[in-house]
Amino acid sequence: MSTKRQTVAVHAGSRLTGSKSQPVVPPIHVSAVSYFEDSDELDAALDGKDYVYSRISAPNAVLLEEAVAALEGAEACVVYASGMAALRAVFEAQGLREGDTVVMAADGYGVTRSLYKNLAARAGVRVEALVLSEASAPERVRALRPRLVLMESVTNPLLRVPDIRALSRACRDVGAALAVDSTFPSPHGQRACELGADYAIQSTTKWLNGHSDALGGSVSGSRERMAPLRAARLLHGDVLGPFEAWLTLRGVRTLPVRMKAHCAHAAHVARRLSESPHIARVHYPGLPEHPDHAVAREVLEGGFGGMVAFDIRDAGRPECFRFLEAVKVARAGPSLGDVGTLVMHAASASARRMTPEERQAAGIGESLIRVSVGLEDPDDIADDLLAAVAEAVKR
């Protein structure tokens, strides 16, 4: 190699030699491009048999895919730059045609509904929004004969819990694919593929990462179902960067330990909130009075999750905004899954992209607060929320 400084500066220190050590923590592979001295090896790499260009395949993303697939109990996984990119990929993989029907949750995440409505409108596809936790939902799916059903294993923000097994049977009867967004319980709380889902979708930004420092999304399922997703990602470029993949994999290492604590803290907070005269209703599937408690006990194998929602009695948007400003331990933020407690006003955040009529039909009122319960002392969390509620409803 040349000894000229310009050449040395570009190439020196680019390859480790002579060491047989194996790092405990995977390194961050930031190079977007690799080279091969053997042309046949380069040719094979361009077909995805080795790492040559990070849009095709990248070491940190592959390691994360292996970890998430293992957590989901699935054959394979494809990771994306965001949860929304993952949801879009599932829609587009179905090859939907004009006149086809897609069923999705009427009471789910508003941005997902907005995305699917836009995609469906372009393709001439009909979208039917159903409350999939209702006992009649499987029969309604059979009657509609959709090509795709997208459900949330725990709905955002009302925390309803559909019977994934019954919906899976209905989908099989009519030849529909079942996609399950199981971000709220995480793979620790529910392995959707083992319960009948064709696709298990995660916003890895949330519990999998666990620290609010990396966006991402994942889709897990059979190798057959993942192959077209992987091929489409190569063309669309919805790739997850190395830092984001590395940070998310770091979070995955502690997921079971964190989720056990999040679940325990959420259950404690829910019980405390249910005792307040200022709170009209607490939404938490672990409470015996929750309408889907029996189903939740069957389909949420790893606990009832770290999410709680509640309605402030006789409150509207002004009172809820005062609540957000009054919390001291919790922080007002439009996400979830962090080690710290996050709160948000559902109608103006998770349901922001829904029309007022859609929110009303879903049962998402102006008094609803969503809480991602963190790892602080659970009584500190509950005391903070209750004090903020009391401050919000002062006359």
- Cis before 157? omega within 30: yes
Percent pLDDT > 70 in the chain is 98
Residue 111: closest CA among 157, 52, 65: 157
Residue of 88, 113, 147, 181 marked catalytic: 181
Q: Give yes or no: 109 in active site.
A: yes
User: Which of the 8 DSSP states describes residue 335?
Assistant: -
pLDDT of residue 24: 85
Separation of alpha carbons 393 and 323, rounded Å: 8
Residue 344 pLDDT: 96
pTM: 0.94
What is the pLDDT at residue 23?
A: 83
**Residue 124 in this model has a pLDDT that exceeds 90:** yes
Instruction: Find the mean pLDDT for residues 255-260.
Output: 96
pLDDT tens column, 151-171: 999 999 999 999 999 999 999
Catalytic residue status for 49: no
Task: Collect all residues with Cβ–Cβ distance below 8 Å to 146 and sequence separation of at least 6.
Answer: 100, 101, 102, 103, 128, 174, 176
Active site residue 38: no
Asked if residue 334 lies in contact with residue 350, where contact means CB atoms within 8 angstroms, the answer is yes
Can 206 be counted among the known catalytic residues? yes
The whole-number average pLDDT for the span 2-20 is 73
Residue with tokens 């009867």: 173
Average pLDDT for the chain: 94
Peptide bond into 23 cis (omega under 30): no
Residue 311 has pLDDT above 90, yes or no: yes
- The catalytically annotated residue of 88, 191, 206, 370 is 206
Of 80, 88, 109, 163, which one is the catalytic site residue?
109
pLDDT digits (tens, 9 = 90+) for 312-368: 999 999 999 999 999 999 999 999 999 999 999 998 877 787 888 888 887 888 999
* Low-confidence winner among 18-22, 224-228, 241-245 (lowest mean pLDDT): 18-22
Question: In the chain, what percentage of residues exceed pLDDT 90?
Answer: 86
- Please determine, for residue 135, whether its predicted confidence score (pLDDT) is greater than 70: yes
Q: What is the mean pLDDT of residues 383-389?
A: 98
What local confidence, expressed as pLDDT, does residue 26 receive?
86
Q: What pLDDT shows up at residue 220?
A: 98
Residue 9 — pLDDT band, cuts 50, 70, 90? low
Domains of the chain and CATH, by start: 55-253 (3.40.640.10), 255-392 (3.90.1150.10)
Show the tokens assigned to 93.
Answer: 């993989």
Has residue 10 got a pLDDT over 80? no
pLDDT at 240: 97
**Residue from 51, 55, 331, 383 carrying the catalytic annotation:** 55
Q: pLDDT at position 356, please?
A: 85
Q: What is the largest CA-CA distance in the chain?
A: 79
263-275 pLDDT tens trace: 999 999 999 999 9
Confidence of residue 395 (pLDDT cuts 50, 70, 90): low
